[in-house]
Amino acid sequence: MEWSRNDLHEQKETGVRSNASEHVTLVEVLELTSTFEEFTAAIQAAARRLEAEGIQDLVTLQFYATPGSAEVGALLTFADRSRIIEHIDMITEWEEFERFFGTVKPIDVRVYGKLSAEAEAWVRQFGVVSKAFEDHVAGFVR
């Protein structure tokens, strides 16, 4: 693998280098099974705890919704696919995520990047993975 001056600068600044081909992004559509207000309170509490205590390789967590809609969208990006199952094992023990999981039901998941076998089995248990794009072709992360 060749390194550019920018790669070396980033590694010097952060001590970490990002490799886009190792990233995995989950794009989710969830059906609300509670009120919008209950969902909002639950995901905000879960997001706060994840930001404070979650694995550092979860680099993006974004939820989008329109009040009054029955669906919400989510984006999760992991910098290291090998840490996804660690993330799942951790959050399934948290009260905040039990509350969050009680407010939504997965409808559709698209996977961008290759999941570990264990993480793939966990995600596919819900029967909502509509598409998976495993092979990274081009791109970068900053």
pLDDT of residue 142: 83
Percent of the chain residues past pLDDT 70, beyond the cut: 87
14 versus 68: the higher-pLDDT residue is 68
Range 21-133: architecture per CATH: 2-Layer Sandwich (3.30)
What's residue 19's pLDDT? 87
Rounded Cα distance, 83 and 87, in Å: 6
H/E element, 136: none
Secondary structure (3-state) at 76: strand
pLDDT recorded at residue 10? 47
- In this model, does residue 94 exceed pLDDT 80? yes
The predicted structure's pLDDT at residue 5:
45
Tokens at 49, concatenated: 């705890």
pLDDT, tens only, 29-47:
999 999 999 999 999 999 9
**From the centroid of its chain, how far is CA 18?**
16
Sorted by where each begins, the domain ranges of the chain are 21-133
Q: Is the pLDDT of residue 9 over 70?
A: no
Averaged pLDDT for residues 129-135: 96
Q: Please tell me the predicted confidence (pLDDT) of residue 1.
A: 42
Spatial distance between the Cα atoms of 64 and 84, rounded to a whole number of angstroms = 22
CA dist., res. 33 & res. 110, Å (int): 21
What are the residue ranges of helices labelled H in the chain? 5-14, 36-53, 84-91, 95-101, 117-124
